[in-house]
C-alpha cells in the first residue's frame, strides 16, 4: 500500500481489492477520512468511485444525490473506530449469510 494511503489500512477489502463500503455510516466515515487527509470533496468522490465497492443505496444516497458535498472534516471519527464499526457490520453480515 502506498504510504499516502496508510490511513486506510484498517478498512476491509473484497476479493477485487476494493474497499467495502456497503452502508452510509461507512461511506461517511471513509469520506471524512479522505477529507482529513487532504482530499478535496470531488477528489474523494472520484477516489471512492475507483477504489470502493459500494451498495446501490450508498451510491444513490451519497454520490448520485450529492450528499457527500455536505460532509466535513469536523465530524471525522478516528480511523480505528470507523474500521472497527465496519468490521462489526461485516462480521454481522457474514454470520447472517451463514444462516441461509
* Better-predicted residue by pLDDT, 85 or 95: 95
Q: Quick one: cell of 40?
A: 478535496
Q: Tell me which range, 1-15, 24-38, 39-53, 62-76, is most confidently predicted by mean pLDDT.
A: 39-53
Query: What does the pLDDT average to over 53-78?
Result: 84
Q: Pick from 6, 86, 95: which is nearest to 53 by CA?
A: 86
Q: How confident is the model at residue 63 (pLDDT cuts 50, 70, 90)?
A: confident
Contacts 24+ apart (CB under 8 A), 36-42: 36/73, 36/76, 37/7, 41/68, 41/69, 41/71
Amino acid at each position: 500500500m502506498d504510504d499516502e494511503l496508510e490511513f486506510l489500512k484498517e478498512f476491509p477489502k473484497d476479493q477485487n481489492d476494493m474497499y467495502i463500503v456497503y452502508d452510509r455510516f461507512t461511506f461517511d466515515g471513509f469520506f471524512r477520512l479522505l477529507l482529513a487527509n487532504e482530499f478535496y470533496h470531488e477528489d474523494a468522490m472520484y477516489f471512492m468511485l475507483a477504489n470502493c465497492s459500494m451498495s446501490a443505496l450508498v451510491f444513490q444516497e451519497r454520490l448520485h444525490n450529492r450528499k457527500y458535498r455536505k460532509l466535513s472534516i469536523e465530524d471525522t471519527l478516528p480511523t480505528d473506530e470507523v474500521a472497527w464499526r465496519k468490521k462489526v457490520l461485516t462480521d454481522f453480515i457474514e454470520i447472517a449469510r451463514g444462516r441461509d
